[in-house]
């Protein structure tokens, strides 16, 4: 269905999991509670679309136009929203944990009570954004533009503060090893990731340990072993990057083995 014209379409509760909707025009379409998990929506036009409660986890929304779209309560965890236009978007209570929002336009967006834990907001624009109750713990805020906010978030990564409604990096404690905006120290973090890889006891990984995340210096990402509880599938993939998935099935032992092999071969 790529390149299709579906503007104003009524697709509420539709099952579009894994669908190829790249370059599709879905302006003002209604997709409330639709399942778009793992779908390819790169370069799609979704401006003014209704996506409330939609499932968009692991979806590819790279360079998508979501200007003024309603994504309240949507599940966008681990989605690729890099270079996306979310200007004036409604992301109230949206789950954006682990999402790639690098270079995205979130200016004037509503992110009230949104979950942005571990999200990548490198070079993102959050000017005049509503962040009341938003959780940005462990988020990557390198070169973020977050000025004249309507309100401050509830949580920020270590070293960051919200002062006069601007997000400001004040630096990590003196004994911290890395800084979010120092290239020299980023190299140190990669070395640290390599050390972590050596210490992993793959044979000792259990279901209770999931998700397991280790640095993958060769890809400049993290390699993640996690479980999709709703689908009963184990997933091995690189964080925040659509298409770099190495395993998705229901065999835990095979997933751990793939995790170990991928770490050795790809990282």
- Average pLDDT of span 161-167: 94
What letter does residue 208 receive in the DSSP assignment?
A: G
Percent with pLDDT over 70 in the chain:
85
The DSSP element (H or E) to which 183 belongs, if any, is helix 183-199
Task: Kindly report which listed range (28-42, 77-91, 232-246) carries the lowest average pLDDT score.
Answer: 232-246
Say which residue, 137 or 217, is predicted with more confidence.
137
Q: What is the dihedral of CA 133, 136, 137, 138, to 10 degrees?
A: 170
* pLDDT, mean of residues 112-129: 96
The pLDDT value recorded for residue 30 is 98
Confidence of residue 126 (pLDDT cuts 50, 70, 90): very high
Place of tokens 């990590």: 172
pTM comes to 0.66
Do 234 and 248 touch, CB atoms closer than 8 A?
yes
* Residues 204-258: tens digit of each pLDDT: 787 777 788 888 888 888 888 887 765 667 888 887 655 578 888 888 888 888 8
What is the per-residue pLDDT for 170?
Answer: 86
Q: Is 209 exposed, middle or buried (0-12, 13-18, 19+ CB in 10 A)?
A: exposed
Average pLDDT, the chain: 86
What values do phi and psi take at 140, rounded to 5?
-95, 115
Q: Which fold has domain 1-176?
A: Pectate Lyase C-like (2.160.20)
Lowest mean pLDDT among 41-55, 72-86, 163-177: 163-177
The kind and range of the H/E element at 213 are strand 212-216
Place 260 in a pLDDT band, splitting at 50, 70 and 90.
confident
Contact (Cβ atoms closer than 8 angstroms) between residue 56 and residue 38: no
pLDDT band at 192 (very low <50, low <70, confident <90, very high): very low
pLDDT of amino acid 245? 82
The segment(s) of the chain belonging to CATH 2.160.20.80 are 1-176
pLDDT band (50, 70, 90) for residue 11: very high
* Phi then psi dihedrals of residue 257, to 5 deg: -65, -40
């Amino acid at each position: 269905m790529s390149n299709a014209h579906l503007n104003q379409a009524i697709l509420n509760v539709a099952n579009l999991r894994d669908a190829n909707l790249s370059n599709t025009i879905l302006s003002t379409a209604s997709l409330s509670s639709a399942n778009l998990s793992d779908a390819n929506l790169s370069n799609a036009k979704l401006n003014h679309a209704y996506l409330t409660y939609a499932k968009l986890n692991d979806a590819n929304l790279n360079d998508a136009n979501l200007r003024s779209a309603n994504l309240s309560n949507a599940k966008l965890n681990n989605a690729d929203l890099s270079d996306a236009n979310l200007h004036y978007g409604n992301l109230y209570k949206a789950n954006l944990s682990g999402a790639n929002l690098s270079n995205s336009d979130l200016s004037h967006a509503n992110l009230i009570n949104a979950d942005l834990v571990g999200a990548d907001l490198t070079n993102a624009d959050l000017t005049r954004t509503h962040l009341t109750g938003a959780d940005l713990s462990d988020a990557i805020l390198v070169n973020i533009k977050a000025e004249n906010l309507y309100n401050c978030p509830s949580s920020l990564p270590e070293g960051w503060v919200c002062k006069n409604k601007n997000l400001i990096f004040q630096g990590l404690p003196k004994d911290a090893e890395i800084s979010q905006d120092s290239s020299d120290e980023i190299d140190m973090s990669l070395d640290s990731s390599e050390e972590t890889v050596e210490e992993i006891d793959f044979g000792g990984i259990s279901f209770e340990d999931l998700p397991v995340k280790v640095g993958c210096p060769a890809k400049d990402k993290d390699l993640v072993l996690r479980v999709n509880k709703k689908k009963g599938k184990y997933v091995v993939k690189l964080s925040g990057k659509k298409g770099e998935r190495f395993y998705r099935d229901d065999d835990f032992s095979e997933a751990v083995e793939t995790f170990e092999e991928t770490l050795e071969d790809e990282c």
